[in-house]
């Protein structure tokens, strides 16, 4: 074996070696995707901003349609995605629903990204 073929063999072995770090599991990836997809829409980001900066006891759904200039069904759809992703909490009070940011939700979302 020549020096050239030895270095090529060494390079191939190094290239095909198992990764030194653990690969993100499929379940963990799906968890991250759920949150990241929820954050990947401008209207949902705006809703999060409104709720985060709203009253501590929650923002009424009735106060969320006008700032976004969207219909109630569209806003409700976006809110459902944010609740399902674990970013917002929903509380029913009479005929209205109130939304609050889940404590540490945004910090946890940042950790999902930085923890890759």
- Give the number of residues written for the chain: 116
Give the per-residue pLDDT at 28.
85
The residue assigned the tokens 């950790």 is 111
Intervals of the chain under pLDDT 50 = none
Q: What Å distances lie between residue 84 and 12, 22, 37, 67, CA to CA? A: 45, 28, 11, 22
The answer to whether 38 and 46 have CB atoms below 8 angstroms apart is no
The answer to whether 83 and 47 have CB atoms below 8 angstroms apart is no
Q: Which residues pair with 112 in a beta bridge?
A: none
Give the per-residue pLDDT at 115.
79
């Amino acid at each position: 074996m020549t020096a050239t073929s030895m270095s090529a063999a060494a390079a191939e072995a190094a290239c095909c070696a198992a990764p030194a770090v653990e690969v993100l599991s499929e379940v963990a990836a799906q968890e991250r995707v759920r949150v990241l997809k929820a954050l990947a829409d401008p209207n949902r980001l705006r809703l999060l901003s409104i709720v985060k900066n709203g009253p501590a006891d929650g923002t009424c759904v009735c106060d969320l349609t006008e700032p976004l200039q969207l219909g109630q069904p569209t806003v409700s759809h976006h809110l459902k995605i944010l609740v399902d992703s674990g970013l917002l909490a929903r509380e029913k009070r009479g005929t209205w629903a109130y939304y609050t940011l889940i404590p540490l939700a945004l910090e946890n979302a940042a950790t999902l990204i930085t923890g890759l």
